[in-house]
A and B are shown apart, each in its own frame.
Chain A
Amino acid sequence: DAKTTQPNSMESNEEEPVHLPCNHSTISGTDYIHWYRQLPSQGPEYVIHGLTSNVNNRMASLAIAEDRKSSTLILHRATLRDAAVYYCILRLWSGGSNYKLTFGKGTLLTVNP
């Protein structure tokens, strides 16, 4: 199964940009890169996803490397409400791997006021 690697924790200051990295060296050409975050005592929530091109939405930007072996979630101006665990996962086309999603421990983002 395709696997992702993320740093255990990162720290940022409020109103500064945050770049959260994710390595996925075994990614296949049709696998999507998804990012979710989990606030304390809540279920994970969707942040952004992409396939090949960089993606932007109201929450964040996703920068995907040209070889797709890594990606970076960019929070343009971190707020205290962005403090959460961020999960990078791959959602695959092939059979059951589309559904057997693997969530690692993610990256715990701390935002300092």
Chain B
Amino acid sequence: NAGVTQTPKFQVLKTGQSMTLQCAQDMNHEYMSWYRQDPGMGLRLIHYSVGAGITDQGEVPNGYNVSRSTTEDFPLRLLSAAPSQTSVYFCASSRSGPGNTIYFGEGSWLTVV
């Protein structure tokens, strides 16, 4: 199994540009989420989804959009990139229910100049 796959791994954007970080999982997980991690910090939840067609905001949603049209995919869109969005982004998935393991992607390193 591929697990959780994120693309691209590295990206440099100019301020004001838009882009989409892709996340796909092949484990038929209901729950998917996006986190950002700034240097020396823990992970902060951006958006999450509990199933196709259902999304909700996390701790730091401003400047980001998500959609969940299929179980497998959960793209994160940056509408107008800002230097403050320079960060490492992690996608995660799991089955619903608190006793289930959370699987993370390898991360996407984004620099906004």
Contact = CB atoms under 8 A, between A and B. Distances in A.
Same complex for A and B? Answer: yes
Interface of A: 30-32, 34, 36, 41-46, 49, 51, 87, 91-93, 96, 98-106
A90 to B, nearest CB: 8
B43 A44 contact: yes
A100 B42 contact: no
B112 interface: no
B105 A100 contact: no
A99 B50 contact: yes
Nearest to A105: B42
A103 B50 CA distance: 19
A93 B20 CA distance: 32
User: Considering residues A96, A99, A100, which has the most beta carbons from chain B within 10 angstroms of its beta carbon?
Assistant: A99
Given A43-B107, A46-B102, A105 B97 contact: no
Contacts, number: 64
A45 B43 CA distance: 13
B2 to A, nearest CB: 14
A104 B41 CA distance: 8
A30 B92 CA distance: 22
B42 A104 contact: yes
Given A42-B107, A96-B56, A101 B42 contact: no
A45 B42 contact: no
B74 interface: no
Nearest to B105: A43
A37 to B, nearest CB: 11
